[in-house]
Amino acid sequence: MSTIELKGVSKNYGNVAAVADLDLVIDQGQFVTFLGPSGSGKTTTMRMIAGLEKPSKGSIAIGGRVVSGEGFFVPTYQRQLGMVFQSYAIWPHKTVEENVAFPLQQRRFSKGDHKSRVQSMLERVGLGGYAKRYPSQLSGGQQQRVSLARALVAEPAVVLFDEPLSNLDAKLRDSMRDLLAEMHRSFGTTSVYVTHDQEEAMVLSDTVHVMNHGRLMQSGRPEDLYESPASRFVADFIGAANTLDVAEFNQADGIVRLRNNVSLKVAPPVHPVRENIVVIRPHRISIAADGEVENILPGAVRTASYLGDRCRYVVDIGAGLSVNVEVGHSPARLRSGQPIRLQLPRDACIVI
């Protein structure tokens, strides 16, 4: 069993609360991501699960076994964890084979089992012919694969990932992300991932926990967070979003009036309305066809950017408001200053 449960977990550094009153359950076999900006508490949370930090209060259980609580603390090496670090953290004086074999030695697997396990794991991460090489003879992506193989070779109950792709270039990040997803499906371990990259979180995760200032802002499937953000912070952090202040909201009729006096029909709110803003994703906005009259937003193009497969426009809509719009590439590209009519689908206008 590898369920992880945190109850009332907090971590203070002096008067600063790095994590505050965190309650959550990570189910066995899930791939869960803690997502947030620097200082949000995501890494501190993962380090407390790993046993690298002691909570100031609260309890942590892994597989039903309490590993941290009031006056009780199980050290990291006794928690049956695998960990993949941002900085690879592989020994430069050991070969690839020796690095990967290390957890097997620590957990007293039979020596006869070492070589076959290590070779099998290296084959699975695409390093079958690299066993005798040293880290200095490997690229950054290959070193991170060694780190992944080492984390998984002893079949840990939980694998923790501390921003493992942030030191790689864009192309390597994509290939490593695919490998992580494949390995998770193959091994079925409980995986806890920390990142500030929302695309990584969206692609890899069963569940995403969005954090800010040490608090859990919203949890859910990637598609739920994207389609139904509960706050301006979550809307802005999970993908690109237009957030427009609402001057008036008639909830009974499902109509908002913006500061520029344009009225829009909106989707029924999923979360309690606290901030009185309407959120719409740039790719859901289209250029209105002749004759369309519902949810029309008139404006003028401020900037136009050609991105190959699409065009991105910033459109001024009056009263100091503007929206970002992304539409498929068309030869008739709009120019700065050109008047435009935008159409906003009702179901894409989310009031939060």
pLDDT of residue 332: 67
CA dist 197 and 6 (Å) reads: 24
- Domain identity same for 217 and 250: no
Are 321 and 302 a contacting pair, CB within 8 Å? no
The residue range of the domain holding 65 is 4-227
Distance of CA 187 to the CA centre of its chain: 21
pLDDT of residue 330: 66
pLDDT of residue 331: 61
- Domain identity same for 254 and 149: no
- Domain identity same for 24 and 110: yes
CA dist 230 and 351 (Å) reads: 9
- Would residue 235 count as lying in a domain? no
- Domain identity same for 56 and 93: yes
Q: Tell me the two tokens of residue 78.
A: 């006794």
- Domain identity same for 266 and 212: no
Sheet arrangement for strand 158-162: 81-84, 158-162, 190-195, 31-35, 207-212, 215-220
- Domain identity same for 218 and 308: no
pLDDT of residue 265: 95
206 phi/psi in degrees, rounded to 5: -80, -40
> For position 293, which CATH number holds?
2.40.50.100
- Would residue 232 count as lying in a domain? no
For 313-324, how does the pLDDT look when each residue is reduced to its tens digit (9 = 90+)? 999 999 999 999
For 141-172, how does the pLDDT look when each residue is reduced to its tens digit (9 = 90+)? 899 999 999 999 888 889 999 999 888 888 88
- Would residue 233 count as lying in a domain? no
> For position 120, which CATH number holds?
3.40.50.300
Q: Which segments of the chain have a pLDDT < 70?
A: 1, 108, 110-112, 329-332
Token pair 């590439």 is at which residue? 329
- Domain identity same for 140 and 12: yes
Question: Cα–Cα distances in Å, from 281 out to 165, 225, 226, 284, 323?
Answer: 27, 12, 9, 6, 9
- Domain identity same for 126 and 78: yes
Provide the domain count of the chain: 2
